[in-house]
Amino acid sequence: MYEQAQVEREQLIFDNQDNPDFIPPPPLPSLFVTNSTPEGLEKSLYFSKGFFSAISSEKGLFNSLFGKSYGNGENNNDIVLNGFNGDYVATSRATREGYVGHVSGGIVCFAQAGSVETVLEASNGSGLSERFFMIVEPHNLGIRDFTIEN
């Protein structure tokens, strides 16, 4: 169903590419993101009516979302912090539309080594780390013996 809607949207844009009065429809909202900056996440809130889900098995999700992979490493955690409680936000941005409304969302990262440290560093006293349930299991690399038959 989503794929069909995406094909129809792309066909509509293609069919009207020579029409100067045509206003393309907004992108379709995605239920989950696997990698996003906080700015990208904020921008998607308009289309999702304030809901977000960020899910990944890669630490890159945290690196992007918490500002470690770009800029000077500073991060804007407000959407994540407010999304935990379903709080109201009203943002104003110079280069894009802000978002006004309640935000509700969750983040899941099946932790790799260093993921917990990334959250703790990004928290910087903001309460971000307290909003995560973190479990780190010991890895089995080099421990299992596959030569023994059961």
Q: Over its length of 150 residues, how does the chain's per-residue pLDDT go in tens digits?
A: 667 878 888 999 999 999 999 988 877 767 788 998 888 888 888 888 899 999 998 888 888 888 777 766 667 888 999 999 999 999 888 887 888 999 999 998 886 768 888 888 888 888 888 888 877 777 777 887 778 776
DSSP secondary-structure letter at 26? P
Q: Which amino acid is at 126?
A: S
In whole angstroms, give the CA distance from residue 58 to residue 45.
Answer: 23
> Looking at residue 51, what is its pLDDT?
92
DSSP secondary-structure letter at 33? B
> Looking at residue 150, what is its pLDDT?
64
Tell me which residue has tokens 């990262």.
Answer: 109
DSSP secondary-structure letter at 93? -
> Looking at residue 27, what is its pLDDT?
72
> Looking at residue 98, what is its pLDDT?
84
